[in-house]
Amino acid sequence: MMCLRRVLRSGALRQLRSLSGKPQGDALPQSCEVLIIGGGGMGASSAFWLKSRALQLGRKLNVLVVERDAGYTSASTVLSVGGVRQQFSLAENIEMSLFGYNFVVNGSEHLGDVDLCYQPNGYLILASEKGAHILAQNSKLQNKLGARNELLGPEALRQRFPWLSTDGVELGCHGIDKEGWFDPWALLMGYKKKARALGAHFANGSVVGFEWNDSGALSGAVVDDGDGVQRTVKFDTCVLAAGAYSGQVARLAGIGDKGAKEASLSVPLPVEPRKRYVYVVSTQGRNCPGLATPLTVDPNGTYFRRDGLCGNFLCGRSPNEDEEPECETLDVDHGYFESDVWPTLANRVPAFESVKIQSSWAGFYDHNTFDANGIIGRHPHYSNLFIATGFSGHGIQQTPAVGRAISELILDGKFTTLDLSRLGFERLVNQQPMHEMNIV
């Protein structure tokens, strides 16, 4: 099943959805209490948590999710590799991913009849001499907060993973529990199905504008559902979770207006699409990594992991800042594999010298150009606008925690579980980046 899903995600699934026509969504209402812009992982999770927690509190809450990509053909959520790890340096990211792990492994308790296909193979992040002290420092914090990983030197790495070349490697951090990967599509559909069962509505359409009331607060969104007619949906509260297009939507609300009198409104939401390639490869090489192989990350950022039971591997690498590809299409550059990915694979795993590409796909990161970390919380100017975007490639594992956090802010008026205040929009206004001190 995992192999079939991966093959479909590499292109055939997008074609199948396009042939089946536009998926049917709920009709656009004239108003709702909470409008969520974006029906990917963050938006669907927010809808699920809002409805489930409102039910627990004995409250009725009218939640509407509007998604521009009705078939999720280019959605970042379903095109991700679905990893969950705690190997971060920021406590907030570690704690969100710990909760994400617990949510995924207990998915049926939260979402009902859903199989998230969790593979508990862990992560193995490798560091050069230059990055070894950062890796060790991160590991100490991660284990203190509840993660379980171990530090391995070159000799221990060779003994544990005999297929691995440790040339240029000073230290490795191996997640021995609570790390692995899962099926992002299954998680998204689980959120959506459960949220709908609880009464949330999901409509197709693109937000193309906003409306304001007499006091200057956001009061409605103008939605184009593709039939040539634009409709206004009034709301009390809005959640901006539009992934890679969040910055574009924020500009429609005047966020980033350099002429604004208030400083917080003049600061843009710095989120834009960044295209990433994923290659599916196979090899006939000897001493090949086995079924229990962790997702392995080279010191230069190249990664690979096993993909199902069919002998395939997923791999990829984020380009340098000055090599970012165009984002007009989801076309894959196979030359990038030959020049930037394969040489590292062959050097790190000799069995990969003879790899062959079986398929490939591309997806978009919702890249936060300010500090590459998620932006979570209330906008400082618009008190009824909440933001959940900019996770820059590690968002899928944090959707459970972020959706819960958004529900807390809306229903309780504050964070009640994990304090994510440092990841709010205010850090953009105050020019206080929250960088990951991580070698990945």
Q: Is the pLDDT of residue 18 over 80?
A: no
pLDDT band at residue 24, thresholds of 50, 70 and 90? confident
Q: Quote the domain boundaries for residue 214.
A: 29-79+185-270+370-430
In a domain, 246, yes or no: yes
In a domain, 1, yes or no: no
- 339: exposed, middle or buried (Cβ count in 10 Å: 0-12, 13-18, 19+): exposed
pLDDT band at residue 224, thresholds of 50, 70 and 90? very high
User: What is the spatial distance between Cα 232 and Cα 221, in angstroms, rounded to a whole number?
Assistant: 5
Q: Is the pLDDT of residue 4 over 50?
A: no
pLDDT at 290: 93
Query: Domain check: are 398 and 265 in the same one?
Result: yes
Q: What is the DSSP string of 282-342?
A: E---SS---TTPPEEE-TTS-EEEEETTTTEEEEE-PPPGGGPPP-SS----HHHIIIIIH
Query: Domain check: are 392 and 344 in the same one?
Result: no
Domain count, the chain: 3
In a domain, 385, yes or no: yes
Q: Is the pLDDT of residue 36 over 60?
A: yes
Percent of the chain with pLDDT over 90: 88
Q: Is the pLDDT of residue 100 over 50?
A: yes
Residue-wise pLDDT for 130-184, tens only, equals 999 999 999 999 999 999 999 999 999 999 999 999 999 999 999 999 999 999 9
Check if the beta carbon of residue 114 is closer than 8 Å to that of residue 192: no
CATH number reported for the structural domain that contains residue 337 in this entry: 3.30.9.10
What's the mean pLDDT in 51-65? 97
Query: Domain check: are 300 and 234 in the same one?
Result: no
Which domain-ending residue is among 365, 389, 415? 365
Residue-wise pLDDT for 357-373, tens only, equals 999 999 999 999 999 99
pTM of the complete model: 0.94
Query: Domain check: are 258 and 280 in the same one?
Result: no
pLDDT at 21: 52
Which domain-ending residue is among 365, 388, 418? 365
pLDDT at 310: 81
Which domain-ending residue is among 176, 205, 240? 176
Query: Domain check: are 375 and 360 in the same one?
Result: no
In a domain, 7, yes or no: no
395 to each of 122, 304, 403, how far by Cα in Å?
A: 18, 19, 11
Query: Domain check: are 404 and 422 in the same one?
Result: yes
In a domain, 108, yes or no: no
pLDDT at 7: 41
Query: Domain check: are 171 and 284 in the same one?
Result: no
Query: Domain check: are 249 and 203 in the same one?
Result: yes
Q: Which structure tokens are listed for 6? A: 């991966």
Biggest distance spanned by C-alpha atoms of the chain:
71
What's the mean pLDDT in 24-49? 96
Identity at 262, one-letter amino acid code:
E
pLDDT at 439: 54
- What is the overall mean pLDDT for the chain? 93
CATH number reported for the structural domain that contains residue 263 in this entry: 3.50.50.60
Query: Domain check: are 58 and 190 in the same one?
Result: yes
